[in-house]
Amino acid sequence: MPDIDAFTGRERAAGDCIPVFHYESRVDQEKSDEAGHPVFSDVEYVKIIAPGNDKEVINKAVTQVEIDRWPQQYKQFKEKKEVTFEGTPLKEWPQVTQSQAKTLEAMHVYTVEQLAEVADQNIGNIGMGMMDLKNKAQAWLEWQAGEASIQKYAQRNRRLEERVKQLEEQLAALTESMETEVAPEVAPKKSTRKKKESAK
């Protein structure tokens, strides 16, 4: 079995590992001694696998370290739900064929993000053309990030334009109100024609 610290440290640098939580039957020594025969209990175990590398697999009893590291997958395991991973599922990515997606999943690569992070020394284990596919995944993710930035700035500009329009409307209403209050009342002019006629 590979060393857990060296393995997880190395693979974390190249791309996170895949946890596979499961139960294994183990002899409960205390209960066995009391019963006088072997008594088995289900114990939580986790297989830690590097994407694209099924040769080095760690299988160990679950501790709080693994629960804290993969809370989503552990929660799904406890709730007996299908384990999912954050990111774009390969089967929904138009750049891969169905057979390529199945091949990648067999090597514990389930998302585009995981494919982009497969270590170079492991990508060749998956099959021919996978390095090219990894490069496409990286390029696609960069493009997506750029599109997200553009959308973010576009939304920000729309909000600013709406705010400017609101301020202009408020300023116009305030100006109109001030002009109405300040304008003096103009008294009507008195006619002087009658006074002139009476003076004659």
The residues, any chain, with a CB within 8 Å of residue 7's CB and separated by 6 or more, are 48, 50, 56, 58
Rounded to an integer, what distance in angstroms lies between the CA atom of residue 91 and that of residue 33? 51
Mean pLDDT (the chain) is: 78
pLDDT score recorded for residue 129: 82
pLDDT at 64 over 90: yes
H helix or E strand, kind and range, residue 19: strand 18-27
Order of strands across the sheet with 53-61? 18-27, 40-50, 53-61
Render pLDDT for 116-174 as a digit per residue (tens, 0 to 9). Answer: 988 888 888 887 888 999 999 999 888 887 755 556 666 676 777 787 888 878 887 78
Structure-block tokens of residue 102 = 């199945």
pLDDT score recorded for residue 39: 73
pTM attached to this predicted model:
0.50
